Structure 1
Amino acid sequence: MATLRDSMIELDPIFGVVGDEEKVSAYVKEELAGMYDEYEADALGNQYFVQNGTNPRVKLMLAAHMDEIGFVVHHIDDKGFIYFIPVGGHDSRVVINQVLAINTSKGLVKGVTGSRPAHIVSAEEQKKGIPIQELHLDAGTSNKAETLELGVRVGDYITFERKGEYLNGGKVFTGKAVDNRAGCAVLIEVMKRLKTKAVAPTVYGVFTVQEEVGLRGAQPAGFRVQPDVALAIDVTLAGGTPGIQDRELPVEFGAGAAIKCYDSGLAVPKKLTNRLVETAEKYAIPYQREVLAKGTTDGHAIALSGSGVLTGCISIPSRYIHSAIGCVHLDDLEHCVQLIVKFIEDFTEKI
């Protein structure tokens, strides 16, 4: 059974672009074997792991999305070059000169993103990012038939080909899918630790799909569970790196769990943020308050499901989000786990 540290190494390289999350869900189910009382999966691919509590009147939902941003094959030309479009939010500047992997019916197929050589790029072109739609993927084939023989088809999903690692053996993990395998690692660890405790609420650990293209999995998940309280677990933007002013991104990397107060899709009711802050302070768990001007999480969709759900979010500070080198700090992961576990242990009645 993987430790929290190991979970990041094992989860990050798994292929799980939006709409193709099956390999991630298979890992989660195997890792949580024996850690739940009930299990369900819905038509979209959301995974529900239920731990029964001592007070059946209270239901608490934890949600972490399994999907990662990526690309999808859009066209294969006669020379065998593959064209693709983005799935989720990308900065086109970080896609060039990368090795990408296509999930085909025959397995993963690698290719490199090509562009015009620097020798023939004009001074004006050098000032601009290359739109993703203008990039091509070179799989080393000579024609369309050879590319098709590899198993590549229009509609196949693509991700960055990269094995994550802890930088120089320390506590900073970097990988292609920390958004949101970091949240999945936290939720897995929470479910493991809760299994040894008697808690009042019935806990629904929900691993959602299709968050990166509009929170599409979380809303039906919220309808299905109809919880009294829900917490999304996701990464957030951390500042502290060159070129970013503290007032732009005040959340600090390595400084503890971020308790969300507000983002562009969720105004967390004060009674919930107060309870989370009280829990963190009661147990001396490092935390920080988060206000995110742009961006949101599954919490937005869950809050609006059914007749409305009291919903918050526990965020993991992250550097270089939505790239192949996203970073999270192991201490932040641990403090998120501690905060959620203690919150649930102290949760005996509806807020």
Structure 2
Amino acid sequence: MKSSWLYGAAGVTGLLLAVCAFTTPTTAYVTSFPEEPDIDGMLITVGIAVAKFLAGLVPYPTVSALLLAIINAWEPKPQDNYWEHVKDNVAQVCGNFINEFNLRQVEVYKKDLVPLLKKYERADVVSDGTYPDMNTVADAITTSIITNRFLVEAGDMPWSMAVDYTDIAGAHILVLEDVAKIYSQGSSNISRWWVDLSRELQHYIEYGIWLQEVTQKWRNTQIECYFDKADDACLAFEWMGVTCYDKYIITDHVSGYTESCLQLHPHDGEVGSCASFCNVYEKQVNRQASRWIFDNVGSVVREWEALKLKADSMAEVASRYYNPITKDQ
């Protein structure tokens, strides 16, 4: 059965600089595929490249050229390790809270998927009898991905699998959309691959939306703000001119960042100088995380949603054949 780039007061100032320093990549990556936009795993992932290609927003001339770029990225070289770039990319939003087991398994699986992508890139629309046609290889790819995508749709620390999720889903969608177009013959012979594409897009979009929400919620829970009120023993002697202090402490369990703010204990009705200390940091981290989530997942899902409108329309008039030419079901 066939299934289916693109991105008090002194204490508060210091904390903003710390957020920016944590979320800025430390290295510029250059890889060895200069003819087209560089799929580096940091600024442009496979998932982003595929989504923008499907939207006509990147200059890969053909699906074949993009597949070769994906294969080039997924075949790591000592001087250009896509996997390390992805891990550094994900660490921007989740630090060391990473599903190491699934990451290793996905790396192994992607290496197994590369030969199938190579076969698809070399296959013809019609087989010559010595090599499978694109229809057959697309079926093998979609079966393989559906069987193994539980690795990237992980129940444990799913946010750490976000880039790998859009990578695998992107490669799947790219092949499905390509084979659906190739085997559709005019308006009267629409390939059933459009049905598969529509169904799989629905799955990927739903999970992608959930992944964005759960990642943002989880990141927000990783910031701990502790308020240490001035000691009652001190406050009892304020009337004598004793100076008492409150202390705010921020601990970010993802970045490992910690900072404190000391304020004079305010009198009733007054606002202390550190009152906005934690709130400012939380807002900055929330903004940084939201940007990362949109760039790496949200922008990709948006392109999938646009493609689904087309897939749904084509699926409504699709025939029962995947290859209407040979009547292959």
| TM-score, normalisation: structure 2 | 0.22
| TM-score, normalisation: structure 1 | 0.21
- Which has more radius of gyration? 2
1 or 2, which has the higher helix percentage? Answer: 2
